[in-house]
Amino acid sequence: MLEIRPNCEQCGKDLPNTSTEAMICSFECTYCRDCALDLFENVCPGCGGNFEKRPIRPLKMVQKYPASGTKIFVPKDLEKVKSLSEKLKSIAPEKR
Ligand SMILES: [Zn+2]
Ligand SMILES: [Zn+2]
């Protein structure tokens, strides 16, 4: 089950379940749209994969299966981020 992490792991911005700005990679690394697309250029700094918009869990379901309350805040070294993005951003996600 998707974890629905509560904040952007790079800038700390709150990303509740209902946020339309939350982006995730296949490992559920969670970032706001600004970090995922502008800063990381759609290359996840953890795994090199792409991001997709995180789906919103419906109200009834989130009562039964709550979003994660565990904040993860581990800003990445932007020098390393840049070199990884440079290497991978021009390669389509399905070919990375
Ligand atoms: Zn962010
Ligand atoms: Zn990732």
Q: What is the pLDDT of residue 63?
A: 96
pLDDT band per the 50, 70, 90 thresholds, residue 96: very high
Ligand of minimum distance to the alpha carbon of 72: 1
- Cα of 10 vs centre of ligand 1, distance in Å, is 5
Q: What is the pLDDT of residue 94?
A: 98
Q: What is the pLDDT of residue 86?
A: 97
- Cα of 59 vs centre of ligand 1, distance in Å, is 24
Question: What is the mean pLDDT of the segment spanning 27-40?
Answer: 98
Q: Are strands 22-24 and 52-53 parallel, antiparallel or unpaired?
A: antiparallel
Q: What is the pLDDT of residue 15?
A: 98
Q: What is the pLDDT of residue 34?
A: 98
- Cα of 31 vs centre of ligand 2, distance in Å, is 10
- Cα of 35 vs centre of ligand 1, distance in Å, is 4
Element (H, E) at 24: strand 22-24
Q: What is the pLDDT of residue 88?
A: 98
- Cα of 70 vs centre of ligand 1, distance in Å, is 16
Sign of the torsion angle spanned by Cα atoms 46, 6, 38, 28: positive
Q: For 56-87, what is each residue's pLDDT tens digit? A: 999 999 999 999 999 999 999 999 999 999 99
